[in-house]
Amino acid sequence: MLRYATPLTFAAIGGLFSERSGVVNIGLEGMMLTGAFFGIWGADRTSSWVLGLLIALAAGALMALVHAFFAIHLRADQIIGGTAINFLALGVTGYLFIDIYGQEGTPTDIPAIPEVSIPLLRDVPFVGDVVGQMNLMIWLALLTVLLAWVVIFKTPVGLRIRAVGEQPRAADTVGISVFKVRYAAVIVSGMLAALGGAYLSIGFVNSFGENMTAGRGFIALAALIFGNWRPFPTLAACLLFGFSSALAQRLPVYSDSAAVLFQALPYVLTLIAVAGLIGRSIPPAAVGRPYKKQ
């Protein structure tokens, strides 16, 4: 369940930064896919998963930069821009994948992100079995959530991000550069989404396939909405959605085809959530609105 939740968590927290700053990021799926491809490509080329991750980060940042430029400078519709990012990422990664690896697919000897085992924790009964030995990225994801909470709610930087996402005009008036903050936030979102993607390719399955993210970026988006644009509830949503994925993967062995319906659960729950049936979901006030300086 944690393994299924990890890529979602990275992407959802990424989306949190972007949307808190007032830029809708429907392109999370594409940014994840970008990270997934460039992560494995980088790890393959450099024979190092660390460099692979860094290359994934850079690629995700670049993809996010495109989104940011169109959304912020050109004031393009953010949703259309994000949709375009998804198309582009699908095309670009598929294209490069075929061009570089062809029908054989990615090599199997690419260095993978290691599992870490923590000596004391490992020995704790029950808990140790679950968290004693986990992929490094799972820890990193949990750390990211904590960091995101600290940054967004406890630091001046976070205050700026929130200000820009709620009242850009007011933020501008007190001397915050709306453009800079939004650029930074969108780029961070791209990097985090790319990390989530890279975890899929070099941490989880250790290969790449066309469109391998298969909607996880959208589940992350759903988790973000479900978590009401807050880090810890978003993590909880990711865990819940990861749980339904894990269940859908495991159940068919024991029961009938109805298990697949668990895959639809995150989406149904999000529909219910946005309909206001589970408390109110309140997006940042200025989300989706391009900002013009005066």
Supply the minimum distance, in Å, between the C-beta of residue 286 and another protein.
7
Of 125-133, 193-201, 213-221, 230-238, which segment contacts another protein by CB under 8 A?
A: 213-221
- Nearer Cβ to another protein (29/44): 29
Cα(15)–Cα(8) distance, rounded to whole angstroms? 10
Return the C-alpha torsion angle 260, 224, 60, 144, nearest 10: -110
Contact flags string 107-126 toward another protein, x per CB under 8 A:
--------------------
Please name the residue that has the structure tokens 């909607």.
Answer: 215
Position 88 contacts another protein (CB under 8 A): yes
Task: State the DSSP H helix or E strand holding residue 188, giving kind and residue range, or none if neither.
Answer: helix 178-198
| Straight-line distance from the first to the last Cα atom of the chain, in angstroms, rounded to the nearest whole number | 49
Per-residue contact flags (x/-) with another protein for residues 215 to 254, judged by CB under 8 A: x--x--xx--x-----------------------------
Query: Rounded to whole angstroms, what are the CA distances from 4 to 96, 122, 201?
Result: 26, 21, 13
Q: Please state, in angstroms and rounded to a whole number, the distance separating the CA atoms of residues 285 and 270.
A: 20
Per the CB < 8 A criterion, the answer to whether 15 and 29 are in contact is no
CB of 278 to another protein, least distance (A): 13
Which residues, 47 to 76, sit near another protein by CB under 8 A? 66, 69-70, 73-76
**Close Cβ partners of 39 (under 8 Å, ≥ 6 residues apart):** 52, 53, 55, 56, 194, 197, 198, 199, 201, 202
Instruction: Find the shortest distance in angstroms from Cβ 54 to another protein.
Output: 23
Among 108, 120, 126, 256, binds another protein (CB under 8 A): 256
Binding site residues, another protein, CB under 8 A: 26, 66, 69-70, 73-77, 79-81, 83-92, 94-96, 98-99, 103, 167-170, 210, 214-215, 218, 221-222, 225, 256-258, 260-261, 263-264, 266-268, 270-271, 274-276, 285-286, 289-294
